[in-house]
Structure formats: structure tokens, C-alpha cells
């Protein structure tokens, strides 16, 4: 049983994604389905190339064309199918109701704008508030994500701060519009192990304090064990396991999941 409750905040049904490349058409996602409940975290795992990022990008229709050829299925957010939304309808959802943290923090941050300007810009794009109010909110957000001396940090450019700090800044930007859903693609992967643990602790803190729904993409089952309620395991664009974390960790049904689990030493969950 998944952590079923009330109506899910996001429901993906039979999502298929087809790419058109020089080599021809390729099915990248094949009937992927999952539900995200309110205040719950869904972990998406799988080896490199299994379709984790494409699944995450699909939710907000962020896959560039090319290579995208077509998408089908349903992505129901609070009942409405996002696949039928126009670009401008989607823009209102993106960064506002659903925030996205990209796999590469350096490419997602604008190198020529200070951290402060980027957060203020994001806040003001979605709220009609003054620069001063947005700045105060930015300071508050940086404090919330554990950045010390936030007033100083607002003046820094992305290259002037450490990788862990950049990831915290990315999270602050994502939180700036109080999203209902946060999609985080490998938010800890590029970090050193100790910093990884700190950023993971930040996610745990945010889950408790904000009560958000999170899609957390990672290839690391150990990370999933610490943070997720439900788990979706992908392989070559197909769902091979989807259940509550307890069920999958204690009674994995698929040989692939069994193998993934056996790679985590010392036991988890």
C-alpha cells in the first residue's frame, strides 16, 4: 500500500514520452504512473538514463523540442490535466504552485546576477510587492535554508559561494513562492558527503516545517530511505516498482530493486 490518504495533489497516469532523434523515434517513458499525496515525499530512483529527470521535467512540460516528439497520458494537478495547459497557463503554475530544482545548480543559477537579485526577481515575478519587501523576504528565506550572514550572501554572485551554499540558495529560490509541490532533481548528488547530509537535513526540516509535497529524484536509495514516504523505481523508462518505502525496503518485488537494495551496506529504514 502506498501512503494513501485523501485525494492526491498530483496524479500522473500512463505518462508516455517519445523522443525523436537522428537515430529515429524512441520511447523514453512508457506508461509511468504515480500519485503524490499532500505533505508526502515521493522518491524517484533508478540507474543513470532510466528516465528520472525526464519524468520530473514532464510534470511542468519542461522537455525541450527537439528531442521531444510527443507526450501522452495525464498529469493531474489538483484535478486539472497539466498536459492540456497552454504555455502561459503553465508559467503560472511553474515556480508558483510547483517549484523545480534542476540537476545542475550552476546552470540553473544566473552567473551574472547576485543571489539576492535572483531571489528578489523570482519573488516579484509572482507577487506584487515592493523591492524592499521582497528583499526582506529574501533575507528570511536564506535564513530558513540555513545560510548564515544572509544580508552579506545576497550580494554574492553564484561563483563566489560554495556548492553547498549554492544548493541552499537554489532551494531558497524554489521556496520563494510558497509552492505546493517541490520537484528536486538530484539536489544532493553534486555535493561532498558531509554537505550532502546537511542538505538532506534541510529537506527533512522543510518537510516538517512547511508541510510540502516533494518529488525527490536521486540514484541513491540510501537518501530515499531517509526522506521518502513512497518510492517509484524506474528502469529504461518503465516502472518496475512503486509502493511505500517500508514495503519496498522490506519486501522488494523486483530483482532490480533487490539488487539496488543489496548495494546499500549496513541496512536502512
Ligand X SMILES: Nc1ncnc2c1ncn2[C@@H]1O[C@H](COP(=O)(O)OP(=O)(O)OP(=O)(O)O)[C@@H](O)[C@H]1O
* Alpha-carbon distances, residue 254 vs 234, 239, 249, 260, 266 (angstroms): 11, 11, 11, 10, 21
Closest approach, Cβ 52 to Mg ion, in A, equals 5
Closest approach, Cβ 255 to ligand X, in A, equals 19
46 binds ligand X (CB under 6 A): yes
Task: Select from 4, 21, 110, 258 the one that contacts ligand X (CB under 6 A).
Answer: 21
Contact predicate 103/185, CB 8 Å: yes
Contact predicate 15/32, CB 8 Å: yes
As a whole number of angstroms, the distance between CA 32 and CA 148 comes to 41
Which partner in ligand X, Mg ion, none is near 211 (CB below 5 to 8 A by kind)?
A: none
188 binds Mg ion (CB under 5 A): no
62 binds ligand X (CB under 6 A): no
As a whole number of angstroms, the distance between CA 51 and CA 187 comes to 16
- The stretch near ligand X (CB under 6 A) out of 32-40, 42-50, 138-146, 207-215 is 42-50
Complex with ligand X: residue 123 or 199, whichever CB lies closer: 199
As a whole number of angstroms, the distance between CA 84 and CA 71 comes to 11
Per CB under 6 A, contacts with ligand X among 193-252 are 219
Other CB atoms within 10 A of residue 206 CB: 18
Q: Which residues bind ligand X (CB under 6 A)?
A: 19, 21, 28, 46, 48-54, 67, 219
Q: Which residues bind Mg ion (CB under 5 A)?
A: 52-53
Amino acid at each position: 500500500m502506498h501512503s494513501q490518504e485523501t485525494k492526491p495533489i498530483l496524479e500522473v497516469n500512463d505518462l508516455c514520452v517519445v523522443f525523436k532523434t537522428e537515430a529515429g523515434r524512441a520511447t523514453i517513458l512508457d506508461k509511468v504512473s504515480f500519485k503524490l499525496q499532500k505533505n508526502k515525499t515521493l522518491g524517484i530512483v533508478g540507474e543513470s538514463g532510466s528516465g528520472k529527470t525526464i519524468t520530473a521535467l514532464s510534470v511542468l512540460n519542461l522537455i525541450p523540442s527537439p528531442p521531444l516528439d510527443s507526450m501522452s497520458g495525464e498529469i493531474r494537478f489538483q484535478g486539472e490535466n497539466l498536459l492540456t495547459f497552454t504555455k502561459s497557463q503553465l508559467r503560472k503554475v511553474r515556480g508558483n504552485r510547483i517549484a523545480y530544482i534542476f540537476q545542475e545548480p550552476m546552470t540553473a543559477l544566473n552567473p551574472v546576477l547576485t543571489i539576492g537579485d535572483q531571489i528578489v526577481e523570482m519573488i516579484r515575478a509572482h507577487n506584487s510587492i515592493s523591492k524592499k519587501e521582497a528583499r526582506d523576504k529574501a533575507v528570511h528565506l536564506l535564513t530558513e535554508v540555513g545560510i548564515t550572514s544572509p544580508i552579506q550572501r545576497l550580494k554574492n554572485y553564484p561563483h563566489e559561494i560554495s556548492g553547498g551554499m549554492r544548493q541552499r540558495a537554489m532551494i531558497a529560490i524554489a521556496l520563494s513562492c510558497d509552492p505546493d509541490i517541490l520537484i528536486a532533481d538530484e539536489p544532493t548528488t553534486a555535493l561532498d558527503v558531509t554537505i550532502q547530509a546537511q542538505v538532506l537535513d534541510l529537506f527533512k526540516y522543510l518537510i516538517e516545517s512547511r508541510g510540502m509535497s516533494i518529488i525527490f529524484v536521486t540514484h541513491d536509495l540510501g537518501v530515499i530511505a531517509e526522506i521518502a514516504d513512497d518510492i517509484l523505481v524506474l528502469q529504461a523508462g518503465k516502472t518496475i516498482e512503486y509502493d511505500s518505502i517500508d514495503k519496498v525496503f522490506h519486501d522488494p518485488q523486483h530483482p532490480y530493486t533487490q539488487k539496488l537494495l543489496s548495494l546499500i551496506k549496513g541496512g536502512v529504514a
